[in-house]
């Protein structure tokens, strides 16, 4: 199998870049003295997760119970399902735990805690539950000072569940593009989650784990006193959103989409390729940010960035490539029909989800097929 023989569009992983990204994050967590638990939702791929664990990660974070099932089947037992628990999914969580999976689940409301306790008592199961903390108003969770925190903790503890700890995600970190703001948000995330843990402990409730994380805050935190573990996911691949945030270069991005030029609109300066939004995803996460990359950054087949050329538009199976600024009237000569290119994605999680497998390229040019899975 060679790059030239692959049908397009295809999702490519540059293994050398991936391994560099994984080592960079793990070394930083080791230096900060915390356990690292990668979020595997970005790639949903056993080979990638094995590389993360071999580098020193302990346990994984998942965003779906299907991920938990798949990775437990692959031999990983220490798993956190980091999405609030819908009562209808407790049966799936129970089945995993009964099979030997050390699955941790999340709650952020009295109603959710009561549902977990009720189901756990009915099925004689002591679920381990982490309370989600809202450290930045970005999404879900309980504010550290909210009295609901102690209510949820008490319901779980007195209901004979294991109150394992607290968990937070500073999703607002994606909104910034300078180190000063990222350092500030990282400290806000740390301090908020630690304060929540202290509130629980002061009330006589157990709180062993204090878990925080996002790729930007993990890479910019100055100190992690009081934190027991960090979680991050997109760092293994990186993408254009993270590039705009300022935590990776274009040459760090390990995921790309291989595509072929199939036509031109020369008077408009367009090249048409066979990768549209079904291949790249509809995610326009760089829109309105420091640099708008359209649907992706254009690179040569071997991965060299073509400065100024973007996938500026996309239909379902057609991508439009153009030069920023003045139209390239010579684009048909520059990128003739049959030219193969790579497109760096806005959002690695969303682009990866368009494919059933990755073509993983080693430093010597050899290619392996790495399956991934989708769904819930």
Say if residue 205 is in the same domain as residue 280: no
Say if residue 57 is in the same domain as residue 162: yes
Contact 129, 113 (CB under 8 A): yes
Say if residue 319 is in the same domain as residue 175: no
User: What is the reported pLDDT for 1?
Assistant: 84
Contact 108, 84 (CB under 8 A): yes
Q: How many structural domains does the chain have?
A: 2
Contact 213, 38 (CB under 8 A): no
For residue 262, give its domain range: 250-371
Distances (CA, A) of 142 to 83, 137, 172, 213, 270: 14, 9, 16, 16, 49
Task: Residue 31: give its domain's CATH number.
Answer: 3.20.20.10
Residues contacting residue 118 through CB under 8 Å, at least 6 positions apart? none
The arithmetic mean of pLDDT across residues 164-187, rounded, is 97
Torsion angle (degrees, nearest 10) of CA 328, 329, 333, 334: -10
Say if residue 232 is in the same domain as residue 334: no
Say if residue 165 is in the same domain as residue 274: no
Report phi then psi at 290, rounded to 5: -55, -45
pLDDT digits (tens, 9 = 90+) for 218-232: 999 999 999 999 999
Q: Using the predicted structure, report yes or no on whether residue 81 has a pLDDT greater than 90.
A: yes
CA angle in degrees (0–180, nearest 5) for 122-146-153: 25
Q: Tell me if 124 is assigned to some domain.
A: yes
Say if residue 93 is in the same domain as residue 62: yes
Given 210, 237, 264, which residue is the final one in a domain?
237
Q: Tell me if 315 is assigned to some domain.
A: yes
CA-derived radius of gyration, the chain: 22
Say if residue 88 is in the same domain as residue 160: yes
Q: Tell me if 40 is assigned to some domain.
A: yes
Q: Tell me if 376 is assigned to some domain.
A: no
Say if residue 108 is in the same domain as residue 196: yes
Tell me the whole-structure pTM to 2 decimals.
0.96
The arithmetic mean of pLDDT across residues 176-205, rounded, is 98
Contact 90, 118 (CB under 8 A): no
Q: Tell me if 306 is assigned to some domain.
A: yes
Say if residue 105 is in the same domain as residue 229: yes
Given 193, 213, 237, which residue is the final one in a domain?
237
pLDDT digits (tens, 9 = 90+) for 251-298: 999 999 999 999 999 999 999 999 999 999 999 999 999 999 999 999
What is the DSSP code string of 27-49? HHHHHHT-EE--BTTTT--HHHH
The arithmetic mean of pLDDT across residues 309-320, rounded, is 98
Q: Tell me if 345 is assigned to some domain.
A: yes
For the chain, what is the mean pLDDT?
A: 98
pLDDT digits (tens, 9 = 90+) for 1-44: 889 999 999 999 999 999 999 999 999 999 999 999 999 999 99
Q: Tell me if 167 is assigned to some domain.
A: yes
Say if residue 138 is in the same domain as residue 197: yes
Say if residue 218 is in the same domain as residue 309: no
Task: Residue 350: give its domain's CATH number.
Answer: 2.40.37.20
Q: Tell me if 123 is assigned to some domain.
A: yes
User: What is the reported pLDDT for 138?
Assistant: 87
Say if residue 306 is in the same domain as residue 342: yes
User: What is the reported pLDDT for 118?
Assistant: 99
Distance of alpha carbon 26 from alpha carbon 220, whole angstroms: 14
Given 182, 215, 237, which residue is the final one in a domain?
237
């Amino acid at each position: 199998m060679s790059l030239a023989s692959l049908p397009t569009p295809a999702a490519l992983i540059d293994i050398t870049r991936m391994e560099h990204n994984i080592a960079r994050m793990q070394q930083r967590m080791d230096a900060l003295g915390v356990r690292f638990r990668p979020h595997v939702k970005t790639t949903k791929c056993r080979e990638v997760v094995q590389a993360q664990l071999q580098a020193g990660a302990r346990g994984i974070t998942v965003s779906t119970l299907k991920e938990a099932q798949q990775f437990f089947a692959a031999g990983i037992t220490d798993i956190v399902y980091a999405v609030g628990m819908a009562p209808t999914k407790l049966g799936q969580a129970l089945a995993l735990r009964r099979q030997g999976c050390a699955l941790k689940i999340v709650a952020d409301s009295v109603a959710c805690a009561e549902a977990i306790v009720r189901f756990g008592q009915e099925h004689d199961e002591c679920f381990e539950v982490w309370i989600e903390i809202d450290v930045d108003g970005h999404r879900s969770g309980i504010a550290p000072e909210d009295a609901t925190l102690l209510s949820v903790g008490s319901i779980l503890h007195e209901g004979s569940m294991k109150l394992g700890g607290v968990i937070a995600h500073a999703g607002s970190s994606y909104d910034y593009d300078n180190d000063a703001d990222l350092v500030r948000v990282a400290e806000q995330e740390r301090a908020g989650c630690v304060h929540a843990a202290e509130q629980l402990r002061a009330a006589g409730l157990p709180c062993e784990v204090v878990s925080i994380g996002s790729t930007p805050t993990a890479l910019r935190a100055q100190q992690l006193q009081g934190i027991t573990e960090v979680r991050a996911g997109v760092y293994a691949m990186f993408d254009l959103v993270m590039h705009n945030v300022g935590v990776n270069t274009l040459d760090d991005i390990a995921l790309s989409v291989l595509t072929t030029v199939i036509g031109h609109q020369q008077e408009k300066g367009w090249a048409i390729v066979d990768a549209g939004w079904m291949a790249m995803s509809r995610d326009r996460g760089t829109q309105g940010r420091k640099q708008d990359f359209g649907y992706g950054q254009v690179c040569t087949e071997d991965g060299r960035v073509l400065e100024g050329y973007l996938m500026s538009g996309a239909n379902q199976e057609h991508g439009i490539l153009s030069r920023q600024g003045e139209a390239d009237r010579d684009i048909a000569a520059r990128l003739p029909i049959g030219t193969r290119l790579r497109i760096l994605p806005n959002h690695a999680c969303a682009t990866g989800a368009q494919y059933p497998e990755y073509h993983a390229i080693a430093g010597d040019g050899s290619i392996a097929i790495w399956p991934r899975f989708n769904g819930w």
